Every structure is written in C-alpha cells, then in structure tokens.
Amino acid sequence: MNIILMGPPGAGKGTQADLIKANYPIPHISTGDMFRDAVSNGTEMGMEAKKYMDSGRLVPDEVTIGIVQDRLNAQDCNQGFLLDGFPRTVKQAEALDQVLAQLGKRVEAAINIDVPEDILVERMTGRISCKDCKTVYHLKFNAPAKEGVCDKCGGELVQRSDDQGETVKKRLEVYAEQTNPLIEYYQKQGNFYGIDGNRSSQEVFKDIEKVMGSL
C-alpha cells in the first residue's frame, strides 16, 4: 500500500500516522526523517541538501525529489509506504508520480484528515508541552493536574511560539494555499479520500482502515 497522509496542523495527523505504523507493515516516512537520514548517511543528495540547510535556505524541489526517490527505493518500502509531509505542492506531486512510475509503483491513496478551521485553532492554541520531557497537554481536553507543571516529570509547561493565536491562523492560511490545489490534483486522479477528523482518534482511524482495506 502506497499512501500519502495529508492534513493541516492540529488535525491529528501524527496520531493517525502512529496508528497506521502500528497496524500495517509499511514504513512511516516523514520529510524531516528523510533529510536527516540522507545527511547522516552521506548520500549524494543528502550532501547537496546539507548545503542549503546549513545556510538556512529552502532545499529545492529537485534535491528533495532525489532524496524521496532514494528513500522509496529502499528495501523496507517493498510492501508500500506512508508518506507524511510530502508532497506539499502540485509540482512535487507530479515529480513523485514520475519517480514512482520508474519504480513500477503509484500513489494508491491520498488520505486527507479534514477538520474545521475554528476547531483547529482551538486545538492548537490550547496546546502546551513540557520543556523537559516534551509531553504534550491541552488546556481544555487534557489539562495537567497542576497548572503549569508536568504530571510526568514536574517540568515547566510552555506554549510553542507557533501555537499562538495569529501565528496559528497564518500557518493554516499558508497550508490551505499550498494544499487545496494538491487535493484537486488527487481528486482528478481518483485516489483521494477525505476523512472527517473532528472526532475521536479511534473513530478517525476506523475510516482510514476502511480506505486501506479497499486498496
């Protein structure tokens, strides 16, 4: 099963990726992991990406695609893969299709976890995490026993700067601008699946299982 997992910040994509990984024999591949592995392994594309990363510049699409191709060619992807965080644009999606065609593969399902914007804002602006052990809490849905103190280690709880009001809204705007054309791209291919993410994680996962069972 060759799966792409999509969804805005705060949609619960990480939780669903963990559930998929635990229940299906396919590797969960995130963009960040791919870059780190390519750099640490000293691959040609990894070294090229490092030049951009070290200077604070965005890694160009052609280098990113090369890293993706190397990763998807690895033996653990023989039974399929779960791509998380890539592609982000139609140009990247087209390049991914070309790479997969060379490998005799295709994207079988682009699964998008959809959550209303007001719910996303509520989820993200209420998130706090421990400075020490990184445990994540939510002021409304999963509050710590003592305000500002981590239940697990007693560390200080803080809010990430990118989970604050205006920053959250800007992140969601940028995501929508990038991703709406991508949704249309996969809808035209007939392999797009929209999942209602405004439910419990287990309910969302049941719908994802139905999609994966149909492939």
- CB-count exposure of residue 62 (10 Å: 0-12, 13-18, 19+): exposed
71 has catalytic annotation: no
Give the integer Cα–Cα distance in Å for 10 and 175: 12
Tens digit of each residue's pLDDT (9 = 90 or more) over 131-151 = 999 999 999 999 999 999 999
Sheet hosting strand 157-158, strand order edge to edge: 136-138, 127-130, 157-158
What per-residue confidence (pLDDT) applies to 100? Answer: 95
What per-residue confidence (pLDDT) applies to 58? Answer: 74
- Catalytic residue, chosen from 88, 105, 169, 199, is 88
In this predicted structure, the answer to whether residue 61 has a pLDDT above a threshold of 90 is no
Model-level pTM?
Answer: 0.85
Query: How far is C-alpha 41 from the geometric centre of its chain's CA atoms?
Result: 23
Segment 12-20 mean pLDDT: 93
13 has catalytic annotation: yes
Confidence of residue 161 (pLDDT cuts 50, 70, 90): confident
57 has catalytic annotation: no
Confidence of residue 33 (pLDDT cuts 50, 70, 90): confident
> Which residue type sits at 205?
F
In this predicted structure, the answer to whether residue 87 has a pLDDT above a threshold of 80 is yes
Confidence of residue 39 (pLDDT cuts 50, 70, 90): confident
- Catalytic residue, chosen from 160, 170, 206, 210, is 160
In this predicted structure, the answer to whether residue 165 has a pLDDT above a threshold of 90 is no
88 has catalytic annotation: yes
In this predicted structure, the answer to whether residue 28 has a pLDDT above a threshold of 90 is yes
What mean pLDDT, rounded, does the chain reach?
A: 92
Q: What domains lie within the chain, and their CATH numbers?
A: 2-26+79-115+168-213 (3.40.50.300)
Segment 1-11 mean pLDDT: 94
Segment 67-96 mean pLDDT: 92
